[in-house]
Structure 1
């Protein structure tokens, strides 16, 4: 490290020039960062959940490529309203990458014309006036239109824009949504409601993009103001800010260059790095100022800063990177990416700090970052920490016991924690997205698909009357769940066809009980031009699809419903293979995977840090002492979440990783400085006092900055982001108490020998 320090000090302009060249090179790839939100991409390609979904996609197409537009009108079934609706729909057909639009104007009814099956449109512009009441009655009682395209009262309707599967990208959807909104804006008297998974994804991403830019900017301004208040010097403000801006820029460029993109988790990387980068630079600038105060010249002070805190900051960066890097073991792809990119970003922050900070200090010939005549907070913190150190020494047993008792008491709330997440979980219940989604749930059917693919294992297996009856019973069973509003399948089609072609028999048995008759009906459907069969069965009639629509009930309810349905299937479909899938299942499975992956990753991180502490201090007690301050904030936050009824879900689960990274960073900074003071020959008491005062001051300042950075998230439109702001801010507070009060008290109480370090000092 000494040779490295000499090189940077002797070549500061070369180092700075090199960094600025990299900054210029990183601007272009960073500007090309893209954002997306695709549930299927959250899983590895080999995951059974994805393979089940791909089975549905292969046989029947995707269930997540439809944008839904709805409206209500008491005068819907008037000639004027219906023709105006047709005009709107026709104008939307010219939008590129829309493969089809389903509406009451495209809906067909089955007609028996002298024994010949025909599909005629319900609505015909030329005959609307003469038969409107009869049309309304037929279309509002049809199994395929009622609850889908129109409600029972005939006052609410919807049309569905199907996005071309080959071009179902964020950019394409954005263009479609803009043209859709522009067209609908030409009808200000109508209150259109828009929902559907493609629409939600893009609106979510658009809000996310705006928030990322806003919070980076807002946090930067607050941090700048705080740094100015603390240091009252331009260098004390702009050196840390340049370091964090460079860090974020390089990390975003790395994400782009490796084919990554921003989504629900990686969007939090920038605020994390903003805080971590500032923390590294503040710790090192504090050490530089301490060296100057001790009478060192600038060159020697820079070398002292690099020799002592360069290695200490490297240690904290490595441990923080390990904390995030353990997420690489996750089976959830975005969580794995989040862990990798955040770990890389932390190491980038360290690299820039040890290169840029000493170089810029040398170039600008700064004698001291903190101005004596500046802010009063900086020296005030140092004075208070001396009193804290004295308090710790006198009352270490009480402090330790109170801390442990508090953890146990609040930690009981962990038993009340529940794993539960919704598709729309991150969005405020008062937002337009949720209100529009609720409109469909309350008036037609929810926008969340729950799909079943039943494989009879033999061609024409779906023509077996016994099988048909069992499928019909399954549909009725599905509708017995309050969360499931609608279910259609081949049996729905068959019942309607039976009623049209054989009304007398249908009055006795709603479904045909003769296999030959079912085969004849299939032949009738084949020779028509209608493609309705391909939505409910495959080409050789071996597989059958049931399409259900469910509320956004949460992963806990969906998993309970699925488990109950699986028991029903095990009793009634012993000879068939049944696959339960759909976007709703993708979301429900994802919640559990993310939470349990995160728990195992944090456990792995604790093991890694325990090994590191054992290696550094060669004392078993030190492992306990180092882990308790890191565990405490996590236990307290988990307990508070349980007591307040805040569920564990992807957006709140990631809080624990962030909290762990912050807690570890502070603890390692403290222990690394403590180890340095021991090596200088100080006893444990003196080493603790100096560490608490000097490193404690930097910890408090960085914690204040972290609070400002994460505190801004409380104003977010996303409920999950607001919770993240509140809970991470609380964790930061708990971590400061744990590191500056509990950690020193544990030293006094457990009295580790630390013989190896003391011997080296001697």
Structure 2
């Protein structure tokens, strides 16, 4: 079989190099034609688990309470916020923002109803609503109300009394939710039961329909953000303004990814050219590796564009990483070609090229296969962008090897053989310093490795699965500053929701009570006339909600539009439970603004002048104006489902923020202190979904990393035909991965969707070094019969290729430290560290272990 493949290769590639290069060029051109359709995806779907049941619940709650995304414009005028000029500027800004496509309404401090300026009864509030623009309003009283009111403090006005927010409420896209739920239902059935032909066709149809629709929405979202920014820019001379919200985070992330792809991708290529020129000092061996790298990336990106497979925040790094792997393969081929040329000046071009290909085919094949095993570990994560990253790298590596073994040999066949430039001089080889260290200071190498392993294990114990979106951006960027203002002045950034269902035992007891008890003052349901006067029997509210939803996706102003049957949560017992949990949430340092029925309860008691009974609660609710009900009751109570809702915002800038601990802390308090049953308490929101993703990714990586090393070990055994040699080969790889992860732990860099892929990258790079070194060592040992001499010869030959590859990649990827996107910086820095760790392991620890164990038998 191998002989047939060899003969076919020689007859097609080496014998017909022009035809080979023309075919590759045509394929590349076809791929490039598709590049204009290339897309990036930073949607919420790319930050969550693919089969997370919490996503279905999140979408269900979205539809139940009808709340969507929100853009926030913070406004800090140059002068007094409550001056005529500042208010007039805010009015003009609001009127412009409301014209933006997709904005349902804009809520600001000039729109919200006033309850304490001055204090008015609910009957007066229902008769006429007063706002900041109402004639004769005392603005000092309004300022005090906004600063102290349980509704408005840290929501409409910040503690500094100078910063407010304009909340652009976006319409809930029910069609989008219906599409994604339909698609996910078919996907789930496909996994569990399988689909018939009609269902499979329906899944393909709805998946494409969803993708097309999401593409349109993404374009509209980005255009909306850009329009809002342009409007805001026109007011920068009047005030200090920032734009915030999920849509802006998404837009900025995509902008940074695109910028890094173009600017730093080009810079990395430039540095690669310079370093190759310094190393090889031959134009052909600068341009050829460059062309192979560019062709590989263009083919992959073009193919991805043609099939509409999109890069995400995670898989965007695949371009840079593919450059690494392609360059490594090409450098190994070039170094071996130059060695053969120097050693055998009498060979003709065909023999020189063929011997290079024949010698390097097997080690390169195994480096690619074992690297693919490392990246396939990402496919089991159940997180679509991470899975895509694993598949893209696996396909890209296969393409890289294919093109390297096609373009380099074919081109060399067309070029003059030239003079040998790589005279063999072991004493001059820089890498011989490492072989001398392994020979003369081997015990120190082992000791340092053991210490490094211990320190790395300690560092890994410090690793945390945590991330804050604000940490993705530098402090001087608009998005960082905007999120900081929202955190410090307007109650927090990331939304978390707590849904409380009624205990079935309580519901049964309540039903029995309403059926069997006699009328009492504190029983709003007792007499036969209750149906006419029932505080919970209101008709549907107006769907046109002037207040939209919570400024940070918590929907403080949504409408429901359903009638109000009896609700446990509108009784004293239910409200007391909610208030107890509400007060606890407000006491947590990482929690900002909290909204619930407890806010209504507090205001109702304050206006009443004392505690209310159940009957009075019903009367009060019936007396609420529609505007007040829309933001005090409806967003926090579903009468139809007998469900209460608490919304809170988490402070992204809080040093105490630990997502898992926060959710569990709240759950424990709700169950153990308030007395809820565990099945009554539900959490949802982007904080929950994102946390689920992080935890799943961490668990899948820990679970699969062992399997990855076992798989690589088995491949080593097949390649080297020696268990001891395979164990020796894998130890430096494990140490390199541990050093990188341990370094992250010691540096306080958390594992998130970006950094957790570093482990797979380190293994992929380390395996490459180990295979090439041991493969060459065996050849040298067979020739010399002496371990020390074989080690020196290996360092002087393949060791130089490893060194060239490492230094090129380290220097090239250090450029990413200049990025404006923090994840790109982490990727560049830790990729460089991984490369250095793999190089040192392969040139010091690996040869020393070979000298100690002597896995190739006795010396001759």
What TM-score results when the alignment is normalised by the length of structure 2?
A: 0.80
When structure 1 is superposed on structure 2, of 150-159 and 663-672 the one drifting more is: 150-159
- Please list the CA deviations of residues 591-620 of structure 1 after superposition, one character each: whole Å capped at 9, or x if unmatched: 333333233333222111111112222322
Report the counterpart of residue 637 of structure 1 in structure 2. Answer: 740
CA deviations over 1:303-341 (Å, ceiling 9, x no partner): 111111022211111111111122111132222211111
Alpha-carbon spacing, 1:97–1:675, altered in 2? closer, same or farther (3 Å):
farther
- Distance in 2 (alpha carbons) for counterparts of 1:347 and 1:381: 37
Match of 1:455 among 493, 501, 518: 501
Work out the CA distance in 1 between the residues paired with 2:736 and 2:749: 16
1:160 aligns with 2:175: no
Cα separation, partners in 2 of 1:547 and 1:130, compared to 1, 3 Å: closer
Task: Provide Cα deviations, 1:142-199, integer angstroms capped at 9, x if missing partner.
Answer: 4333321223664321111123443884322221122112212222221112222221
Kindly indicate whether residue 757 of structure 2 is the aligned counterpart of residue 654 of structure 1: yes
Cα displacement string for residues 225-279 of structure 1 (whole angstroms, at most 9, x for unaligned residues): 1111122222111111111111112222343344432222112111111111111
Match of 1:585 in 2: 688
Q: Distance in 1 between matches of 2:89 and 2:648?
A: 31
Give the distance between the partners of 1:384 and 1:32, measured in 2 at CA: 47
Structure 1's 590 and 293: CA in aligned 2 closer, same or farther, altered over 3 A? same
Task: Give yes or no for contact 2:229–2:243 (8 Å, CA) kept in 1.
Answer: no
- Partner of residue 399, structure 1: 445
Using the TM superposition, give the Cα deviation of residue 387 of structure 1 relative to its aligned residue in structure 2, in angstroms.
5.4
In the alignment, the residues of structure 2 paired with residue 290 and residue 341 of structure 1 have an alpha-carbon distance, to the nearest angstrom, of 33
Match of 2:642 in 1: 542
Q: Check if 1:476 corresponds to 2:483.
A: no
Shift of 1:582: 1.5
Aligned to 2:468: 422
Task: Write the distance in 2 (CA, Å) between the matches of 1:118 and 1:594.
Answer: 55
| Kept after mapping to 2: 8 A contact 1:633/1:731 | yes
Aligned residue number for residue 181 of structure 1: 229
The RMSD of aligned alpha carbons is: 3.0
Give distance in 2, aligned partners of 1:79 and 1:339: 58
Q: Count residues in correspondence.
A: 742
- Structure 2 residues without counterparts, runs of 5 or longer: 177-213, 508-565
Residue of 122, 143, 151 corresponding to 2:158: 151
2:374 to 323, 332, 355: 323
Q: What is the distance in 2 between the residues matched to 1:528 and 1:429?
A: 39
Offset at residue 729 of structure 1 (A): 1.7
CA separation in 2, counterparts of 1:587 and 1:227? 42
Give the CA deviation at 1:693: 1.9
For the residue of structure 2 that corresponds to 1:159, the secondary structure is strand
Structure 2: how far apart are the matches of 1:95 and 1:556? 35
Q: What does the per-residue CA deviation read over 1:477-530, in whole Å, with 9 as the maximum and x for residues that have no partner?
A: 10010111211112323443565xxx4xx3221xx331x444444455597796
Counterpart of 1:567 in structure 2 is: 668
In structure 2, do the counterparts of structure 1 residues 521 and 672 end up closer, same or farther at CA, with 3 Å as the change threshold? farther
Report matched runs for 1:170-319 at 5 Å: 170-187=218-235, 188-295=237-344, 296-319=347-370
CA contact (8 A) 1:419 1:556 kept: no
Query: Displacement, 1:646?
Result: 3.3
- Take 1:654 and 1:554, find their aligned partners in 2: how far apart are those partners? 25
| 259 and 496 in structure 1: CA distance in 2 versus 1, 3 angstrom threshold | farther
1:613-692 superposed matches below 5 A: 613-676=716-779, 687-692=790-795
- Native 8 Å contact 1:610 1:627 kept in 2: yes
Written as runs of structure 1 = structure 2, the 5 A alignment for 1:479-628 is 479-497=586-604, 499=606, 503=607, 506-509=608-611, 512-514=612-614, 516-524=615-623, 531-532=630-631, 533-540=633-640, 542-552=642-652, 553=654, 557-571=658-672, 572-574=675-677, 577-628=680-731
Structure 1: gaps of 5 or more residues: none
- 1:117 pairs with 80, 102, 126, which one? 126
Query: Bigger shift: 44-53 or 6-15?
Result: 44-53
Partners of 1:432 and 1:466 in 2: CA distance: 46
Equivalent runs, 1:713-752 vs 2, <5 Å? 713-752=816-855
Tell me the SS of whatever aligns to 1:108: coil
Alignment deviations for residues 401-445 of structure 1 (CA, whole Å, 9 cap, x no partner) = 443344334543333333332122222234332222111222221
**Larger displacement relative to structure 2 (145-154 or 179-188):** 145-154
Deviations 1:650-695 (A, max 9, x none): 3332222222221111112222333455677966555444332211
Summarize the Cα distance change of 1:58–1:108 in structure 2 as closer, same or farther, 3 Å threshold.
same
1:332 paired with 2:374, answer no
SS at match of 2:297: helix
| Structure 2 residue aligned with 1:91 | 96
Asked if 1 retains the 8 angstrom alpha-carbon contact of 2:65 and 2:635, the reply is: yes
Residue 131 of structure 1: how far off its partner (Å): 4.1
d(CA) in 1 for partners of 2:60, 2:427:
62
Deviation string, structure 1 residues 520-558 (Cα, Å, up to 9, x no partner): 444555977964444222251511111111201479623
CA distance 1:701–1:129, shift in 2 (3 Å): same
Question: 2, 10, 20: which is aligned to 2:6?
Answer: 2
1:370-423 CA-to-partner distances (Å, cap 9, x unmatched) read: 7469xxxx9689623345445534554453344334433454333333333212
Range that drifts further, 231-240 or 524-533: 524-533
Give 1:121 deviation, angstroms: 4.5
Aligned partner of residue 412 in structure 1, secondary structure? helix
Question: 1:346 and 1:381 mapped to 2: Cα distance?
Answer: 35
Post-superposition Cα deviations, 1:341-376, rounded to whole Å, max 9, x if no partner, equal 1121111111111111111111234446x7469xxx
Q: Give the direction of change, closer, same or farther, for the CA distance of 1:526–1:83 in structure 2 (3 Å limit).
A: closer
Report the 3-state secondary structure (helix = DSSP H, G, I; strand = E; otherwise coil) of the residue aligned with 1:424: helix
Query: CA separation in 1, counterparts of 2:668 and 2:304?
Result: 44
> For 2:325 and 2:231, how far apart are their aligned partners in 1?
46
Taking the aligned partners of 2:142 and 2:124, their CA distance within structure 1 comes to: 22
2:104 match: secondary structure: strand
1:271, 1:423 → 2: CA distance?
A: 23
Question: Does the CA contact (< 8 Å) of 2:426 and 2:793 recur in 1?
Answer: no
Query: What CA distance in whole angstroms lies between the structure 1 residues aligned with 2:580 and 2:725?
Result: 64
Cα separation, 2, equivalents of 1:14 and 1:601? 43
Mean Cα deviation higher: 81-90 or 546-555: 546-555
Q: Is contact 1:108-1:119 (8 Å) kept?
A: no
- Contact 2:34–2:305 (Cα < 8 Å) also in 1: yes
Question: How far 1:463 sits from its partner (Å)?
Answer: 2.6
* Structure 1 partner of 2:210: none
Paired position in structure 1 for 2:399: 348
Matched, 1:60 2:65: yes
**How far apart, in 2, do the equivalents of 1:513 and 1:626 lie?**
76
**Structure 1 residues 89 and 476: CA distance shift in structure 2, 3 A:** same
Contact 2:159 2:489 in 1 (8 A): no
Contact 2:590 / 2:656 at 8 angstroms: preserved in 1? no
- Summarize the Cα distance change of 1:225–1:183 in structure 2 as closer, same or farther, 3 Å threshold: same
Name the CA distance, whole Å, in 2 between partners of 1:237 and 1:575.
65
State the distance in 2 between where 1:391 and 1:547 align: 62
Paired with 1:746 and 1:130, the residues of 2 have a C-alpha distance of: 83
Cα separation, 2, equivalents of 1:24 and 1:698: 31
CA distance in 1, matches of 2:85, 2:431: 77
